[in-house]
Amino acid sequence: MKKMAEKIVQTAGRDQIGEFAPMFAHLNDDVLFGEVWNDETIDVKTRCIITVVSLMASGITDSSLVYHLQNAKAHGVTKEEIAAIITHVTMYTGWPKGWAVFRLAKEVWNEPAAE
């Protein structure tokens, strides 16, 4: 019997922009996180990796990537794994993106900054 994963619940859409953009908040919280993230066809750790790679490939290095790096770490992605993932993706998406994501990943995995 397949073990049920802990259900992903997100309220950021409603909390941050729900009054301004209720449909977007619904799609973010209920559809993206409520349905897509909770579909058990792909495990959550794999979804976290896919999301980090997608954001990196798109050049997104803002707070949304930080959130998804933290989420990846919380769902079992190790420092060694994220370093290998970022290195691999850098070969396909570009060196500057790799540098930008490594800077954020080091913060999330609590690595000290260079002097």
Distance CA 72, CA 66 (A): 10
For residues 82 and 96, state if they share a domain: yes
53 with 34, same domain? Answer: no
- My answer on whether 14 and 64 are in the same domain is no
Quick one: 50 and 14 in the same domain?
A: no
Region 14-40 average pLDDT: 91
> Which residue range(s) make up the domain with 108?
42-115
Count of structural domains within the chain: 2
Residues 60 and 110 in one domain: yes
More confident residue, 36 or 12: 36
Same domain, 68 and 81: yes
62 burial (CB, 10 Å; 0-12 / 13-18 / 19+) is: exposed
The reply to whether 34 and 48 lie within a common domain is no
Q: Is residue 34 part of a domain?
A: yes
Contact 73, 108 (CB under 8 A): yes
* pLDDT tens column, 43-90: 999 999 999 999 999 999 999 999 999 999 999 999 999 999 999 999
Do 26 and 14 belong to one domain? yes
Tell me which residue of 25, 90, 103, 19 sits closest to 61, measured CA to CA: 103
54 & 92 share domain: yes
Does residue 26 carry a pLDDT above 80? yes
**Integer Cα distance of 90 and 85 in angstroms:** 8
